[in-house]
Structure 1
Amino acid sequence: MEQIILKGKVFPEIIYRKTGSGPALLLVHGFPANPLLWREIIPELSSRYTLLMPDFFAVPGSWMVDGHNSMDMLAEGFAAILDNEKVERTVIIGHSMGGYMGLAFAGKYPSRLHGLSLVHSSPVPDDEARAEGRRKTVAILESGGKRLFLNKMVKALFPDEFNDKHPEVYKRQTEEAIAVDDQSLVAFYRAIMERADTRSVVQGLSCPVQYLIGEKDSLANIRKELAQKSLAKTSFVSIFKNAGHMVMLEEPDAVLATLNRFLSYCLAEGQE
C-alpha cells in the first residue's frame, strides 16, 4: 500500500494511502481509526477498484490548520486527492465520521460523485443531549482523559458478544485509537461536534446513497437512521441484525456483498 503526502491548498499537508486498480473509490475511515479499519475488505475491493484512503492521524498535525479543521475543509482535502489522482468522479464510502466528511463533499461537489455510501453514518445532526455529551468529551480529552475515554468508546463500538468472542479485535482497535495524538483527537472530535445538518444535501443528490446500519449499534438511533432512506432519489439500505458500529470488521463478507451491488449500480455504464 502506497503512502502519498500531498501539499494541499487548504491544508499544508495531507496524507492518503493508495492501492488496487480500476475505478477510483474514496474509502474514508472513522474516528479514531486509520485506513486499516477496512483491512478485512481491502483485498477484494482492491482487486477491482483503486482505493484512495485518507489517513488523518498518520502524522500529528496533518489534515489541520493551526490545530483546527472542519467538515468543509476536509471535503476540500478530498477534492485535492481526486485532483492529484486525476479522478473526475468517484464513489465515497465513509464510516461514521468519514460519512460526515462524504456528506460535506457531496454538498460542495455533487457532480463529482457516482455514489455515496454511509456506513454507520447519517446526515442528521446531533440533538442537544448528544451535543452536550460531545462537549463534555472534548473537556475530558483536553484534561488528559484520553485513555479512559477511548477504552470505553472503542468497547461500545462492538456488541458485547463480539467483544467476548474476539477480544483481540477490541484490543487492537483500542491500541490504534490511543496511538492518535491528543491534538488530532480534539480537532477531529470538534469537527464532528460542529458538523452541519446535511439532509438537504442528500435530497439534492442525483447519485445513489447507501446506508449500512447495525441493529446493535449503541451509538446510533436506528429509527432515525431508517427515516433518512426516503431523502435520496435512489437509496440502498442494508441492516445487519447482529452488528454494532463496526460492521466492516464484524461481518466483512456481508459488507462486501452489499458494497459490490451498490458499486456495480453506481458505476454501470450510463449511470448518472
Structure 2
Amino acid sequence: MELAWDDTGQGLPVVLLHAFPVNRRMWAAEREALAPRYRVITPDFRGHGESGLAEEDSTMERLAEDVCGLLDELKLERVVLGGLSMGGYAAFAFLGRHADRVAALVLADTRAGADSEDGRKARHDSAALAEKEGAGVIAERLLPKLLGATTQANKPEVVAAVRAMILSTPPAGIARALRGMAARSDSTPLLGAIRVPTLILVGEEDTLTPPAESEAMAKAIPGAALVKIPAAGHLANLEQPAAFTRALEDFLGSLRF
C-alpha cells in the first residue's frame, strides 16, 4: 500500500495530518506559509488523495503506523505532529505508541474521547451508504457540518474546494475510515501524561467538535495553549487560513529544543 505525501522546505520537521474525508491538499496554505522556515510534511492517509487503498479498515492505529513508517523512510526521529479532526485521532494513536518521536503536538478541531454508541452506529450507517451510493451523498451530508455558517454563507469557493476533495475520495476509502474512526479508543487518559508543548486550535463555529471540548483538552494537558478561530467551523484552517496559520507560526516560533 503506497502512501503519497508532500515534503517541502527545510528546518524543524512539521507533520500535518488531514481531516476526513479530504486529503493533504487541505494544508496548502500552511505549506506555503511554513516552508521558508520549516520542513513541512503532509501525507495522504490510506484511501484518501493519492495514497493507496488497503483491504482492511483504516483504524487510527493503522494510520499511526503508516505515519511512523513514513518517518522511518524520511529518517526523521522526532517531529512536530499536528492533526485536524481525524488527523487528530491519528495523532493521539501515534502519541500512544510513539511518544518519544513527538517533539510538540498540534490538535485542531478534534477530540480525545471515543464515539458514543449512537456515534458509532451513525458512522457504520454512513459507511454502508458510501459503499452503496458513492461519495456524493456523503459530501452533501457532511458539508453543512464540516463548514461553519459564516463560510457557508460567504465563501462559496471554500465550499466548492471541500466538496471536490470529498468527491475525489474513493467510496471504499470513506467507508474504511468511518469504520476505523468508530473503532477508535478513548484517548482521554493520555492527556494528563502529555509532556511536550501542545497547541489546541478550534473554530468558534465548530459543531462537530465544539470549542468546549477543546477547552477541556487544554485544561487536561499540562501547559497547553488554546486558540479559538473566529468565523470558522470544523475545517478551521481552510475557512480562516490566515488566522489559523498565524497561530501555528506563533506556536512553532515559541518552541525551544
| TM class by smaller structure | over 0.9
Alignment partner of 1:22 out of 11, 31, 44: 11
Aligned to 2:233: 244
C-alpha separation in 2, matches of 1:201 and 1:237: 18
What is the CA deviation profile of residues 208-253 of structure 1, one whole-angstrom value per residue up to 9, with x for unaligned ones?
2221111211212332331121221220101123211121122212
> 5 Å matches for 1:151-190?
151-190=140-179
C-alpha separation in 1, matches of 2:115 and 2:163: 24
Give, in angstroms, the shift of residue 190 of structure 1. 1.1
What is the CA deviation profile of residues 44-71 of structure 1, one whole-angstrom value per residue up to 9, with x for unaligned ones?
1111111111112234644x3x243311
C-alpha separation in 2, matches of 1:198 and 1:36: 27
Partner of 1:217, secondary structure, is: coil
Aligned to 1:3: none
C-alpha separation in 2, matches of 1:111 and 1:60: 26
> 5 Å matches for 1:70-149?
70-149=59-138
- Residue type at the aligned position of 2:129: I
Structure 1, unaligned runs of 5 or more? 1-11
C-alpha separation in 2, matches of 1:206 and 1:160: 36
The answer as to whether partners of 1:67 and 1:184 remain within 8 angstroms in 2 is no
> 5 Å matches for 1:216-231?
216-231=205-220
The answer as to whether partners of 1:60 and 1:184 remain within 8 angstroms in 2 is no
C-alpha separation in 2, matches of 1:103 and 1:170: 28
Q: Determine which structure has the larger helix proportion and give its number.
A: 2
Structure 2, unaligned runs of 5 or more? none
Aligned to 2:49: 58
Runs of 4+ in structure 1 over 6 Å off:
none
Task: Give aligned pairs, total.
Answer: 255
User: RMSD between aligned alpha carbons?
Assistant: 1.7
C-alpha separation in 2, matches of 1:138 and 1:152: 13
Change (3 A) 1:136 1:80: same
Using structure 1 for the length normalisation, give the TM-score: 0.88
Using structure 2 for the length normalisation, give the TM-score: 0.92
Paired-residue identity, %: 27
- Residue type at the aligned position of 1:95: L
What is the CA deviation profile of residues 108-140 of structure 1, one whole-angstrom value per residue up to 9, with x for unaligned ones?
011111111111011111222322322221221
Partner of 1:18, secondary structure, is: strand
Partner of 2:20, secondary structure, is: coil
Alignment partner of 1:191 out of 161, 170, 180: 180
The answer as to whether partners of 1:61 and 1:183 remain within 8 angstroms in 2 is no
